[in-house]
Amino acid sequence: MVRKRVLAAMSGGVDSSVAAALLKKKGFDVIGITMDIWPPRLADARSVQAHDNFGGCCSARAVEDAKGVCDRLGIPHYTLNFRDSFKEAVIDNFISEYLNARTPNPCIRCNEIIKFRELLKKADELGADYLATGHYSTITKGKKLFELRKSKDRKKDQSYFLYPMGQEALKRTLFPVGSLTKTATRQIAKKLGLKVADKKDSQEICFIEDNNYGKFLAESSKEPVKPGPIYDIEGNQVGMHRGISYYTIGQRRGTGLQFGKPFYVIKIDKENNAVIVGEEKDTLGKELIAENVVWTSIKAPSRPVKAKVKIRYASEETDAVVSPSGDNSVSVLFKKPVRSITPGQSVVFYKGDLVLGGGVIKS
């Protein structure tokens, strides 16, 4: 019997390491792959020592850890160059979005284009039947379509980041740790003697040092970052900002305003290079428009759909009605106001643990 071949995306972390181990145990022919995605400017500017503490799944240390795990498991490991694709699809998009007063989610963009499009092409070249990652999510086969669902460990669930997966990607992707808790994953790693068993999770965006978006944009953008006015909702100038790329909707700290009560960024006006602030109540909204909508696990509906909706990864799910409006767009009307609806972020629709779909917030 010919063994099914799996291309295992190895980030050097405990989740992808255990995913590869579980697949090998099940009898798959596993090939470990780590993606080299940093453009030369970022890669060459930092020493190996700096890589040890920066870059998460994209660092030189990550490659070393992934290779060490593969050696321990007795499977081959390769590092593949995705620098150009990552720069064009993720980094350039990140810069463009911020300069246009939007707040993107580069992890979703990376999953959609790099992992579940470009890496699947590489799987074809290597004769692999499946692609596997260490994401905490699950895939089931419904009556007609493959379905993306939440993981068993709700605190670690990553289905929000995966909603753009199409049916072909769902059909050919495996999430071996999606049915485990994080605690169980670490326990398996320890039993296998993997050195990454206690490795901390990467929390920051891999290509931005110290999570300093403004500094990264100032250094990377061809457009100069210009200071400008901060207005209140009545149009009164109350301060000066450092550049709109340093701000995002809902932001409280870093505005430099001191009036005895907190102020929040409620709008970024690119045309006038201005930031508008208000009180907490001014951050609330009940409706949004989303574009580039993907219906992940169901056929595109022609009528309004009731769903639980998240407007960012860390937000709570809120009851809402999602109404298709043509051109892969929807309007979302919330049952109760939600805080800081942010253009550029993704909104994801759920029914129970099923991911119905999602899109990018336009307004």
Note if 107 is an active site residue.
no
Instruction: Extract the tokens encoding 131.
Output: 């692609």
| Cβ-Cβ contacts under 8 Å for 199 (sequence gap 6 or more) | 12, 13, 14, 65
Which of 58, 70, 107, 110 is catalytic? The answer is: 110
Spatial separation of the C-alpha atoms in residues 33 and 11, rounded to whole Å: 8
Note if 110 is an active site residue.
yes
Please give the sequence-ordered ranges of beta strands (E in DSSP) within the chain, or none if there are none. Answer: 5-9, 29-36, 77-81, 130-132, 137-141, 146-150, 173-174, 228-232, 237-241, 264-269, 274-278, 284-294, 305-310, 318-326, 329-339, 346-351, 354-361
Spatial separation of the C-alpha atoms in residues 147 and 167, rounded to whole Å: 8
Instruction: Extract the tokens encoding 287.
Output: 């409706």
Q: What angle is formed at CA 285 by the lines to CA 362 and CA 247, rounded to 5 degrees?
A: 60
Which of 58, 70, 107, 206 is catalytic? The answer is: 206
Q: Give the pairing of strands 318-326 and 305-310.
A: antiparallel
CA 319 centroid distance within chain:
23
Is the CB of residue 190 less than 8 Å from the CB of residue 340?
no
Q: Give the pairing of strands 130-132 and 5-9.
A: parallel
Q: Residue 304: how many CB atoms within 10 A of its CB?
A: 15
- Residue 17, CA atoms < 13 Å, CB-side half-sphere: 33
**Residue 36, exposed/middle/buried by CB under 10 A (0-12, 13-18, 19+)?**
middle
CA 90 centroid distance within chain:
11
**Distance (Å) of CA 214 to CA 104, 208, 249:** 14, 10, 15
Residues with catalytic function:
110, 206
